[in-house]
Amino acid sequence: SKGGSGRSGRSAFVVVANRLPVDRVDTPDGSTQWRRSPGGLVTALDPVMKANKGAWIGWAGSTDEAPEPFDEAGMHLVPVPLSAKEVEEYYEGFSNATLWPLYHDVIAPPVYRREWWEAYVKVNRRFAEAAAETADDGALVWVHDYQLQLVPEMLRALRPDLRIGYFLHIPLPPVELFARLPWRQQILRGLLGADLVGFQRPGAASNFLRLTRRLLGYQTQRDQTFLPDGRVVRARSFPISIDVAQLEEIARRPETQRRAEEIREEIGSPAKVLLGIDRLDYTKGIGERIHAFAELLTDGDVTPDEATFIQVATPSRERVEQYKLLRDEVELAVGRVNGTHGRIGRPAVTYLHSNHDREELAALYRAADVMVVTPLRDGMNLVAKEYIACRYDNTGALLLSEFAGAADEFRQAFLVNPYDVDGLKTTLVDALRLDPRNATRRMRSMRRHLVEHDVDRWASSFLSALTGELRT
């Protein structure tokens, strides 16, 4: 802490997120080890963590007994335990069957259950208490995402000395949808416990300001909300990004290039490769893109020798009903298109339901002529940024939904409305037949923007908006 008068062993910088930034590895000798997860957030925060004795509070991802706080990869990690029932009610229930669909335009119907809300309150309180015990006097605490929207208010009540920032990684819907939430005022009050509330897009920040006026009756001016107790809360957009240099370095390795060539050969050396990489989530528009591609094959606008689709779908939230239904839908669509247009050893769509390391993902990005990113709604979409990062030679085309946050930044992409089947088909053909000079011009401009706006810049602009004093 700055003055050195701090509570001993406590941290001047604390991150609170649903998940810890480490993955558990069970070794053959029966012991447990932790490996830093590959995520961009933890990389971005690394320098701030190291300079400020940073701590990270989060769930270890299982219902086993939570380990005691431990130090790993230069961070102090504080595991928050969740029982099997809490995983069901707080994580799968309220977070992923109530908030997730509501915040993503109600693409799937949100389920409102009072016992899920109660579990959400209880678990948020547990995270807030862990943060209150970990933070040093006057520390800076950064709370993340929709699973923990009540933490800012709870933490402020426990520790009024702290400076609190909050960032929502997913969209914030307009009042017309948000108002359906039976606990809408509690959620807004929870967020208003922060000094600064960050969003991916400017539109979400305006939604927030309008929500505080309409649902709580507070005054707002520009990016500020005025609370009855005299506090002022700011709301602004800070579009998140990726570690561009790190991914580009992997993409440039000769072995990555060899693997990319091998992938193309393994799928039958088509003239063009289309690629989708997503968590298997109904917000991602996976079915929409497969249907559009299948129609192009059926119409004869594209032949199977001309183009092959690779769709990688990461297993996600597999016990939530809507995710089970989606998996069946996507797998039925893939089976249909392959049954109709595939040949022996040559599927029209190569579909993988699995996790892959960064090296394999980079090789896939290098192998793809057209990256197909068609979410029906997405906070940002980092996959689009990862593709651009890997195209260091300014080749390739990005097809991008206008409903992804990334569309604000990449006007040179092939922007589409994924609900418009004909528009999607025409744009797929345009992207497939793009001439190299045009491709270079578009990609160069997108890369110029991305290189300037990496995840370090995101973290430092949020943190300096929160306080000019933090050492980085």
Q: 350 forms bridges with which residues in the sheet?
A: 310
Indicate which of ligand ADP, ligand F6P, none lies near residue 440 (CB less than 5 to 8 Å, by partner kind). none
* Cβ-based nearer residue to ligand ADP, 325 or 352: 352
Stretch that binds ligand ADP, among 73-81, 174-182, 376-384, 438-446 (CB under 6 A): 376-384
Contact between 314 and ligand ADP per CB under 6 A: yes
* Cβ-based nearer residue to ligand ADP, 50 or 358: 358
Indicate which of ligand F6P, ligand ADP, none lies near residue 386 (CB less than 5 to 8 Å, by partner kind). ligand ADP
Q: 398 forms bridges with which residues in the sheet?
A: 371
Q: How far is the CB of 456 from ligand F6P (least distance, A)?
A: 19
Q: What is the DSSP letter of 98?
A: I
Q: How far apart are CA 92 and CA 454, in angstroms?
A: 31
* Cβ-based nearer residue to ligand ADP, 319 or 441: 319
* Cβ-based nearer residue to ligand ADP, 52 or 374: 374
Which helix (H) or strand (E) segment holds residue 376: the answer is none
Contact between 170 and ligand F6P per CB under 6 A: yes
Pairing of strands 307-314, 349-352: parallel
Q: Which of 154, 363, 380, 397 binds ligand ADP (CB under 6 A)?
A: 380
Stretch that binds ligand ADP, among 96-104, 207-215, 220-228, 355-363 (CB under 6 A): 355-363
Contact between 472 and ligand F6P per CB under 6 A: no
Indicate which of ligand F6P, ligand ADP, none lies near residue 19 (CB less than 5 to 8 Å, by partner kind). ligand F6P
Contact between 78 and ligand ADP per CB under 6 A: no
Question: What number of helices (H) and strands (E) belong to the chain?
Answer: 17, 18
* DSSP string computed for 400-433: EETTBGGGGT-TTSEEE-TT-HHHHHHHHHHHHT
Stretch that binds ligand ADP, among 78-86, 102-110, 133-141, 380-388 (CB under 6 A): 380-388
Comparing C-alpha atoms, which of 408, 419, 459, 418 is closest to residue 203? 408
Contact between 317 and ligand F6P per CB under 6 A: yes
Contact between 316 and ligand F6P per CB under 6 A: yes
Question: Please, are residues 380 and 284 in contact by the beta-carbon 8 Å criterion?
Answer: no
Strands of the sheet with 232-237, listed across from one edge: 70-72, 75-80, 55-59, 11-19, 135-144, 163-167, 196-199, 232-237, 224-226, 219-221
* Cβ-based nearer residue to ligand F6P, 104 or 156: 104
Q: How far apart are CA 339 and CA 296, in angstroms?
A: 15
* DSSP string computed for 204-225: HHHHHHHHHHHHH--EEETTEE
Residues in contact with 396: Cβ distance below 8 Å, sequence separation at least 6, in sequence order: 368, 369, 370, 371, 387, 439, 443
Residue 387 phi/psi, 5-degree rounding, is -60, -50
User: Taking CB under 6 A as the criterion, which residues in 275-304 touch ligand ADP?
Assistant: 277, 279
First to last CA, the chain: 14
Contact between 19 and ligand F6P per CB under 6 A: yes
* Cβ-based nearer residue to ligand F6P, 159 or 317: 317
Contact between 200 and ligand ADP per CB under 6 A: no
Question: Please, are residues 276 and 312 in contact by the beta-carbon 8 Å criterion?
Answer: yes
Contact between 169 and ligand F6P per CB under 6 A: yes
* Cβ-based nearer residue to ligand F6P, 41 or 443: 41
Stretch that binds ligand ADP, among 177-185, 226-234, 374-382, 456-464 (CB under 6 A): 374-382
Question: How many Cβ atoms sit within 10 Å of the Cβ of residue 200?
Answer: 26
Q: Which of 250, 312, 367, 446 binds ligand ADP (CB under 6 A)?
A: 312
> What residue has token string 């072995």?
255
Contact between 145 and ligand F6P per CB under 6 A: yes
Interface with ligand ADP: number of residues (CB under 6 A): 12
Binding residues for ligand ADP (CB under 6 A): 277, 279, 312, 314, 355-356, 361, 380-383, 386
Binding residues for ligand F6P (CB under 6 A): 18-19, 145, 169-170, 316-317
